[in-house]
Chains A and B, each alone.
Chain A
């Protein structure tokens, strides 16, 4: 019984922290109609600013909180200015992509400034605990609860009784109408971002104090949990976000007590998916109807794709085959990586481009493919070719089945669902130790081999990857120009219209994800067998975002574009490393984030144009 009470207190405290996140996300979703993916990074920034205040400047706690909130408010305003305002007349997905890019940049900056190693805070407040009948409550618990209660109360008063509060509420309900009442909606968005980010940063600082650890990547999952909490109560609904956060905190706490702490994050993402599928408007809503925005307008910009003459393509392919003759081993392995990422980008461009379903959990597919074939080779001793084929099929089936519940969703919601699925895959790998080895991973995975020939040398691995890439690209080209491709594009442009012509949406989305899973599975298999070692972090969410950047860079749905995107994003950083020296490599991720933001803003159709 004691444990139950302890966990209840824990759950409520953590729930309070989530509430600070979720309320901010709800405010932003309300006024800007945007799921702000950079919110998690603001939370991370809050923790690091707090850490700096405490350890470098020795600020007292109260002042630290103030500095954290001020810094994050400014950061939020900057995000609004860069990621939202210039993109207001673009498709709804554009600001979402921009915030993903910004989040990438912020996380990388934190890594560069503070190192990727976890940091700890010195003890800031008394660790005294007050006994409370069967359980006890610490000073920190009380502090967290009071901070969030006070913030909640202030926010309520602000929204209810101030002019700006009214403007925020009116904008959330009807942006156009608010504008016609004389509300400056840009100003409203700016203020909303400032408030939301101040709360988010505060939340990050409190979490850092609670768990006494800060990492540059802490924001990603926290942001996703904020969505989960907000989604439980209905996105954009502030009281709902608070209730959802408390519920999530409690479920997590009880769950961790029952199953162990490595399961902590799994609950949030499973709940995220369940709520998305069953009650996308939150558990308090009636029915399952989604509001019309921001699900529509998934597609960025239609453009004339750049036509590349067939002779050039054939020429480049032939040159690619001859490359190993002149290239050294180092560059050959770089190009091999580029080819394999090319396969991944092919796979993603099929769903994100052709079908218009902006998947951001694609690394999960790599992981499924890689683990399946590694296990088939290691445990069952299957020959590589068979393992490859089976793994690709398993990825196709699992990829389709996992995303199937999310088929009804569109636009932003697809993105959240696929991120959630990606995280669930990675957390399942972490926790299913008997099968996957968990964090220890799988070792001694045999290199790819065919009919007794082992693709061990860089050269042979390169040729294998090249053949697979070209073969899959040709297959996908056939698929995209067939009636299936046409139908997928019709669904992308207008789901309702497509349905009105008798198209079975689920069947075609299923085909898209199955084909995409098959292709990504192959990439995962080759990567795994060439690494010979994988664990739960090999295929992380950074790879998903990288793949997305490749697809945007090349032009969504554009097959050659996706390969070009992959090539550029893998090769350019290596060239820069050659020129600028080894130290450049830490800036590589920063470059990716920057490219994503710049392309969404200035060339949404990508280099070669969307198809």
Chain B
């Protein structure tokens, strides 16, 4: 569904990515793990067209999307849950959710999807007329996910969906991601820092370090690998 091939990215003279290769199969949840400044958020930006790689190719559904402007990539069916949620604080919850449908041309089905999306997030239904900025962090995360679902995406890219949330909300959000993946069949590619929990719901994972993919494997492999446990998951051996 999604494939990155030999991606090299630069910020000015500084190289961020050194030949990144990764793929996401339809229906999977794939996790990209890594520490601060490892290049994981930039990977997300490359996929979404926010940063143009210097070399390499990005394929989505077997067609190349490298270098396309972001809005065209979204239109092809990529939903995005941005880092730090980035909901529209001055728009109501309803307007925020409907903004997600901005790129769609099938206006008739939007109302139907709106109802369906709300069924995942009953809490948002209670707050439809509230301004987005007044929601709690966890609620905002739900709103960002609801917004991404309105794209009718084939793939959702999530940049650190659990960042800054309380442990209770982290569990809730991951559970919702799991549900969305399972019941809607939407493929999910997420970038995460808290690896242990993310790997609980993921099928496969990659570990990125200083711009190189250093480890890849199934979620259970990664969870059981002592090297990962030590380096990225905070376990001491």
Q: Could you say which of A165-173, A487-495, A590-598 contacts chain B?
A: A165-173
Cα(A163)–Cα(B102), bound, Å: 7
A180 to B: closest C-beta gap in Å: 4
Asked whether, in the complex, the Cβ of B74 is within 8 Å of the Cβ of A173, the reply is no
Does A177 lie within 8 Å of B87, measured CB to CB? yes
| A182 and B151 in contact, given A166-B102, A170-B91, A173-B91 (Cβ under 8 angstroms) | yes
CB distance from B67 to the nearest CB of A (A): 15
CB-based contact B88/A179 at 8 Å: no
Is B99 within 8 A of A170, CB to CB?
Answer: yes
Q: Which of A174, A179, A181 contacts B100 (CB 8 A)?
A: A181
A167-B102, A177-B82 known; A182+B88 contact, CB < 8 A: no
Question: What's the least CB distance linking B11 to chain A, in Å?
Answer: 11
Determine whether the beta carbon of A179 is less than 8 Å from that of B102.
Answer: no
Which of chain A's residues have a CB closer than 8 A to the CB of B99? Answer: 166, 170, 178, 181
Smallest CB–CB gap between A429 and chain B, Å? 43
Quote the shortest CB–CB distance from B237 to chain A (angstroms): 39
Contact of B95 among A166, A176, A179, A184 (CB under 8 A): A166
| Complex-state Cα separation, A166 to B71, whole angstroms | 15
A173 engages B50 (CB within 8 Å): no
Residues of the B chain whose Cβ atoms lie less than 8 Å from the Cβ of A170: 88, 91, 99, 102
- The answer for the CA separation of A163 and B107 in the assembled complex, in Å, is 11
- Contact at B74–A177, with CB atoms within 8 Å? no
Scan A135-148; emit 1 where CB is below 8 A from any B CB, else 0.
Answer: 00000000000000
A180 to B69, CA, bound (A): 10
Bin the interface of chain B by size. Answer: 20 to 34
Query: What is the minimal beta-carbon distance from B66 to any residue of chain A, in angstroms?
Result: 17
Assuming the contacts A166-B99, A166-B102, asked whether A180 and B88 have C-beta atoms less than 8 A apart, the reply is: no
Residues of chain B within 8 A of A179, CB atoms compared: 50, 70-71
- CA distance in complex: A101, B48 (Å): 34
How many residues in A have their beta carbons less than 8 Å from beta carbons of B?
Answer: 16
Judged by a CB distance under 8 angstroms, whether A183 is at the interface is: yes
Which chain B residue shows the least CB distance to A163? B102
Partner of B74, one of A167, A174, A176, A181: A181
- Within B53-79, which residues are at the interface with A (CB < 8 Å)? 69-71, 74-75
Q: How far is it, in angstroms, between the C-alpha of A179 and the C-alpha of B86 when the chains are bound? A: 11
- Binary CB contact string for chain B from 139 to 151 against chain A (1 if under 8 A, 0 otherwise): 0000000010001
Contact B82 A176 (CB under 8 A): yes
Asked if B90 CB lies within 8 Å of chain A CBs, one says yes
Is B80 engaged at the interface, CB distance under 8 Å to the other chain? yes
- B89, CB-defined interface residue at 8 Å: yes
B218 in the interface, Cβ–Cβ < 8 Å? no
B146 CB → nearest A CB, Å:
12
- Interface residues in B11-48 by Cβ distance below 8 A to A read 48
B103 contacts the other chain (Cβ, under 8 Å)? yes
Q: What B residues does A178 contact at CB under 8 A?
A: 88, 99
Judged by DSSP, the binding face of A is: helix
Q: Which residues of A contact B95 (CB under 8 A)?
A: 166
Contact between chains at B50 and A182 (CB < 8 Å): no
Q: Which of A169, A180, A182, A183 contacts B91 (CB 8 A)?
A: A169
Given A166-B102, A173-B89, A174-B88, A182:B147 Cβ within 8 A: no
- Max count, chain A CB within 10 A of own CB: residue among B88, B91, B151: B88
- Quick one: closest A residue to B150, CB to CB? A181
Q: How far is the CA of A312 from the CA of B95 in the complex (A)?
A: 65
Closest Cβ–Cβ distance, residue B123 to chain A (whole Å): 21
- Segment 90-132 of B: residues with Cβ below 8 Å from A: 90-91, 95, 98-100, 102-103
Could you tell me if B75 and A181 are in contact, using CB atoms closer than 8 angstroms?
A: no
CA distance A294 to B95 in the complex (A): 26
Known contacts A166-B99, A181-B74, A181-B102; A176 and B50 CB within 8 A of each other: yes
Chain A residues contacting B88 (CB-CB under 8 Å) are 169-170, 173-174, 177-178
Interface pair A180/B70, CB less than 8 Å apart:
yes
User: Residues of B contacting A176 with CB < 8 Å?
Assistant: 50, 82, 86
A277 to B111, CA, bound (A): 47
Whole-angstrom distance between the Cβ of A89 and the nearest chain B Cβ: 10
Q: Given the complex, which residues of B lie within 8 Å of A167, measured CB to CB?
A: 102
Contact B71 A182 (CB under 8 A): yes
In the complex the two chains form, what is the Cα distance from A174 to B87 in whole Å?
8
Chain A residue with the shortest CB-CB distance to B100: A181
Distance in angstroms between the alpha carbons of A173 and B147 in the assembled complex:
15
Residues of A within 8 A of B75 (CB): 182
The chain A residue with its CB closest to the CB of B76 is A182
Which positions in B face A, CB cutoff 8 Å? 48, 50, 69-71, 74-75, 80, 82, 86-91, 95, 98-100, 102-103, 147, 151
6 A-B pairs with C-beta separation under 8 A? A174-B89, A177-B88, A179-B70, A180-B80, A182-B151, A184-B69
Given contacts A173-B90, A180-B86, A181-B99, 13 further A-B contacts (CB under 8 A): A163-B102, A167-B102, A170-B102, A173-B88, A174-B86, A177-B86, A179-B71, A180-B70, A180-B82, A181-B74, A181-B100, A181-B147, A184-B71
